[in-house]
Copies of this chain bind each other. A is one copy, B any other.
């Protein structure tokens, strides 16, 4: 999977987002060891410092933890991951409805539009 960046938003923030999504969606299961900073950095084609910063932020969020000398691991606190996922999901839903609201659509209308859009893409 190619990593590509927005260019307007800070790269490290996009890294955080990307890895966060990978964790809550099970690409990196609970307790799994993450690739080393250098590996991740080369994968994403960014400066190791930038990747470092992203991982540090994920650690303060409690989604990963560091074991000295052994590397970084996804937290084993399944509940924490579930909450993070819930938080993300809620914010996606809300921001969707809010944006559509700015276009003058009620939640019901937004739902209908999305339904048509999904059906139309098939």
Contact = CB atoms under 8 A, between A and B. Distances in A.
Interface of A: 7, 10-11, 21, 24-26, 60, 66, 68, 85, 88-89, 92-93, 96-97, 99-100, 102-104, 107-108, 110-111, 113-115, 117-118, 121
Contacts of A99: 88, 92
Interface of A is mostly: helix
A86 to B, nearest CB: 10
Contact of A93 (B10, B25, B108, B114): B114
Contacts of A25: 102-104
State the 9 A-B residue pairs at the shortest beta-carbon distance, nearest first.
A25-B104, A21-B102, A96-B96, A107-B118, A92-B99, A93-B117, A25-B103, A111-B118, A111-B114
Nearest to A25: B104
A68 B7 contact: yes
Contacts of A10: 68
A25 B60 CA distance: 26
